[in-house]
Structure 1
């Protein structure tokens, strides 16, 4: 007779959920992953959530400053966007489309119909009651909320009628223009990504996501020539991985730094050699007359 008691965890636990696409990423800390899962838990019908930082810290079992650090990590990796409303209201968090999430989203879409709502339209609608309750504990409601139940209920019917579609094409065109003379090269990179698919095409959301990531990499690089050379290298190799592009850029930067250091050293050597009169002089002696 054993004193061990067994349980069957199948569908009995309430908790948080983390997409496998994020779980497998080594770029994210474990704390940031858990923070993302907590934010997903609080997400309401409109796709946004706004728990206080104290609430997140309490749920995870960490200090507030650690929560802030993890939120910054998610923002820097372009997984969420933070909308601030001042000291008396909690921040609102929006979840961004990311290449890491594509496989998870593709499977989820098969299970349920996704309703796309634009970011700008959602900003002008009040929060529905269900989302409101999910996102706040009692303390948050008393100290930070400015929405009354009456306002929330009155706005819920209006917000449900708003179902604008995301205009990806306009955003894609705008992002492409930012690359200037590099536009054709960027489009070639996208073509490499599309060639990986059986259909030879790429979804508009993925297209836009790649453009945004490339734009961020270009800005971080701060050198258009290095970015161009690195992007050309990955295209020639048939690679569409942004992280690999970053490694190539870093390698190009190191080569440039070494070259500049060698050039400076050579210039200093020649300049110093000239000052000391060190140089090879040749003379032709006149023949002696007998």
Structure 2
């Protein structure tokens, strides 16, 4: 049972959404044991897994209070919400069930928060630099540095370096009713944007989070998640479209579709590349010159491969 007693001033609850993570969850939890500033509670939310990851959590010998919650599969946003609303701590730190933290991750983020709030800043979220390590061995660094008002930046892109690097005020998430549960993709960008409307966002400029990316990553399954991206575009424009210029709206729509056009191209799904490009072109002729013409080249290649297949 979760305790209902009030949070202490700097208490932290780590929320871990988990789906079929038997291979990685113990390593993820072990990275929390190494924290120089231990979490006050860890809540793992099993999102309808079919492997034995839930039992591995039950059996894990943790030096911190560790709670397992379970639900039918509803997606990571819903799983994170379940953990957030079950928590009582001041801060929520999100961590995916296949990722790991540097030992000083929480310590450095809390120290930055204390320093900034002592200066009178209204800080809602702090992230850090992220290193993504892919199953084929290549690595990618996310190092967008934030230091205040970044609301406008989210109109162009998701400037958070990774959800597993986020430390956020629980009251901020709860005030906004958490992640939009109708989405299973880009729900994080929508929530971060809403937080940025009222709070500052800052970054610890160090790599404090390792993201492990394998073939199960959602961008490796574009057919499954593309409808959620389309829904995200609709929701985002309904909420913020009037704040954007016409050109900004065009770029927003095209850039978000292009993310999945690229994913379909990488997976060799030429029919979907052609379909998405058609949707983009129907929205604006600027599709032809977007990103120096790269989506257009992917479209032409998909057309070529399709013609070869049927010749």
TM-score tier after normalising by the smaller chain length: under 0.3
* Structure with larger Rg: 1
Comparing both structures, which one devotes a greater share of its residues to strand? 2
TM normalised by structure 1 equals: 0.28
TM normalised by structure 2 equals: 0.26
Comparing both structures, which one devotes a greater share of its residues to helix? 1
